[in-house]
Structures are given as structure tokens and as C-alpha cells.
């Protein structure tokens, strides 16, 4: 349950969850909001039918945010490409009156969690012009990437067909467009875990070395200690002799 301030005096509650068949009736409203937002932004987005969104809900591949009356306030779904090699959390939308309160972040985080659980070896990708989405993706560990790292199949790029900038994408042979490509590679996590394990092992080895150091066996240190003591002893002897003479 999230808590957010939607006006000066009003605190509203909302929930973010995996959508189920209970939410099928909200697909039309989500679709309509997606279209409205696309018009307002003037970019155009991949057009999704309400049937498509319902299928995502039935498959357990959609995340929905609801207000305390059970109305949709945010949505996003999981798509896979190249037999699960790539996963995208697409169709992110938050109702205008609920924007800038962290709803998109909460929805994307839940979608990311779902994607990591269901497709632990998949690269999670996204293309966007939205600064808000870039910020959220960066927080989740995505990094900017070139389009060459994204899926090569047409099915993925067909999603861009209804965008007003599609001609830029085709003119550049899918190498560049106005969107920024972002990617999360699970290998980074594995390598990070491996590096951390190695570093902690080295640290432990150092500690053990320190504990097990036997200075009696360290001839050089012993010799140095001996020579210091000899010098001190000699100095004391000289001082004593001087006192006797006086
Ligand atoms: C983009 C969108 C989903 C953001 O939803 P939101 O609930 O307002 O986003 P959040 O409140 O979770 O904000 C996430 C971060 O983005 C920032 N942000 C939100 N809207 C922003 C904007 N218009 N410009 C710049 N930054 C913005 C927030 O400040 C926050 O950053 P922080 O973590 O540093 O504080 C929403 O504006 C929307 O539905 N837009 C229309 C559809 C769309 O563009 N979808 C994305 C397609 S890729």
C-alpha cells in the first residue's frame, strides 16, 4: 500500500500489484488513457488494444496501481523478445492527476521484480524519450545503450511504427532515433557478486595472514630488533662508564 499526497490536504492510499482477471474490466480505461497521453505528448506510441492488455493481465504479466476505490491509476506490462532473451517493461502509464507522486516508480519497480523472477537470465531493455522513465530505469540499474544491443527482430521494432519519429529510425537503419535505449544485463549482477566474493576472500586471507604471523620466524625483523637492543645497551654502557670516570 502506497501513501501519497494528491492535494494540499488530502492523503490518498494506493496499491501496486500484479494484475489479475479481477482487473480485466479496467483494460478499456487504460487503453483510452494511453491514447490520450500519446496525443498530448505528440509522439505517438505503440498502439495497444484492450484485448492485448487483457491477455497480459490473464498471463500475470501486467502491473496495475489502483486507488482506494479500485480504479486504475497506473499500469505497465511485461513483454519478451527473442524467446525470452530480452524483456521489456512496456506501456507505462500513470493517470495525469496522479503524476509526480512516485506511482510510475512503484509500478516499474514491481514490473522489474516480476521480470527478474520470471526471466532471471534475460536482459531487461527499454527505449524512451521520457526523462522520468530514464530516471527510474537508472535507479533500477539500467544503463544507456546503443540500438545495436537491442533485439534485432522486426517484432520489437514494429512497436515503433505508430511513433511520429519512425522515419528517423528507418532512415538510420535502426541505428539511431530520438529515443534513448537502456539496458539491464543480469551478467553485471553476477560479475558484481563474483567480484565482491573475491574481494571478501582476499580480505579474509589478509586477516588470517595477520593473525598467523609469527615474528619469531621472521629473521629480518628479529635481527633488526636485536641490533636496536644492542645499540641501546651499548649507549647505556658508555653513559655508565662516563659517570664512573667523573
Ligand atoms: C512518464 C510517467 C509514467 C511518469 O509517471 P509519474 O508517476 O509522474 O513518475 P514518478 O512520480 O514515479 O517520477 C519518477 C521520477 O521522474 C521524475 N519525473 C516525473 N515526471 C517528470 C517529468 N515530466 N519530467 C522530468 N522528470 C519527471 C520524478 O521527479 C521522479 O524523479 P526522482 O526519483 O528524482 O524524484 C507519466 O508522466 C506518464 O504516464 N506519462 C505519459 C505516458 C508516458 O510518457 N509513458 C512513458 C513511455 S516510455
Q: What is the pTM of this model?
A: 0.80
CATH of domain 2-195: 3.40.630.30
For residue 62, report the phi and psi dihedrals to the nearest 5 degrees.
-130, 150
Residue 82 Cα to ligand 1 middle (Å): 29
pLDDT tens, position by position, 124-134: 999 999 999 99
The band of 40, judged by pLDDT with boundaries at 50, 70 and 90, is confident
Strand 86-94 versus strand 72-81 pairing type: antiparallel
Cβ proximity of 182 and 128 under 8 Å: yes
Q: Where are the domains positioned within the chain?
A: 2-195, 216-246
pLDDT of residue 8: 42
Give the model confidence (pLDDT) of 142-200 as tens digits. Answer: 999 999 999 988 989 998 988 888 999 999 999 999 999 999 999 998 888 888 899 99
Q: Do residues 130 and 163 make contact, with C-beta atoms less than 8 angstroms apart? A: no
User: Under a CB-based contact definition with an 8 Å cutoff, are residues 61 and 45 in contact?
Assistant: no
Do 56 and 118 meet the contact criterion of CB atoms below 8 Å apart?
Answer: no
| Cα-to-centroid distance, 130 and ligand 1 (Å) | 7
Number of Cβ within a 10 Å radius of residue 26: 20
Which residues partner with 14 through β-bridges?
Answer: 2, 67
CA nearest ligand 1 atom 21, residue: 132
Cα diameter, the chain: 112
Amino acid at each position: 500500500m502506497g501513501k501519497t499526497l494528491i492535494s494540499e490536504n488530502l492523503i490518498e492510499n494506493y496499491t501496486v500489484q500484479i494484475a489479475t482477471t479481477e482487473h480485466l474490466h479496467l483494460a478499456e480505461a487504460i487503453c483510452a488513457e494511453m491514447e490520450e497521453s500519446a496525443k498530448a505528448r505528440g509522439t505517438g506510441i505503440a498502439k495497444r488494444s484492450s484485448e492485448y492488455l487483457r491477455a497480459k493481465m490473464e498471463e500475470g504479466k501486467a502491473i496495475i496501481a489502483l486507488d482506494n476505490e479500485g480504479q486504475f491509476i497506473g499500469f505497465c506490462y511485461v513483454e519478451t523478445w527473442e524467446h525470452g532473451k530480452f524483456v521489456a517493461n512496456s506501456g507505462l502509464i500513470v493517470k495525469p492527476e496522479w503524476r509526480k507522486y512516485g506511482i510510475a516508480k512503484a509500478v516499474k519497480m514491481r514490473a522489474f521484480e516480476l521480470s527478474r523472477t520470471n526471466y532471471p537470465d534475460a536482459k531487461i531493455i527499454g527505449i524512451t524519450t521520457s526523462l522520468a522513465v530514464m530516471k527510474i530505469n537508472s535507479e533500477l540499474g539500467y544503463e544507456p545503450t546503443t540500438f545495436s544491443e537491442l533485439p534485432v527482430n522486426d517484432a520489437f521494432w514494429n512497436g515503433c511504427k505508430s511513433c511520429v519519429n519512425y522515419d528517423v529510425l528507418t532512415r538510420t537503419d535502426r541505428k539511431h532515433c530520438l529515443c534513448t535505449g537502456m539496458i539491464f544485463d543480469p551478467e553485471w549482477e553476477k560479475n558484481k557478486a563474483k567480484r565482491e566474493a573475491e574481494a571478501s576472500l582476499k580480505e579474509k586471507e589478509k586477516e588470517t595472514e595477520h593473525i598467523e604471523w609469527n615474528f619469531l620466524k621472521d629473521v629480518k625483523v628479529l635481527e633488526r630488533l636485536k641490533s636496536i637492543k644492542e645499540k641501546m645497551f651499548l649507549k647505556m654502557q658508555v653513559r655508565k662508564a662516563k659517570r664512573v670516570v667523573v
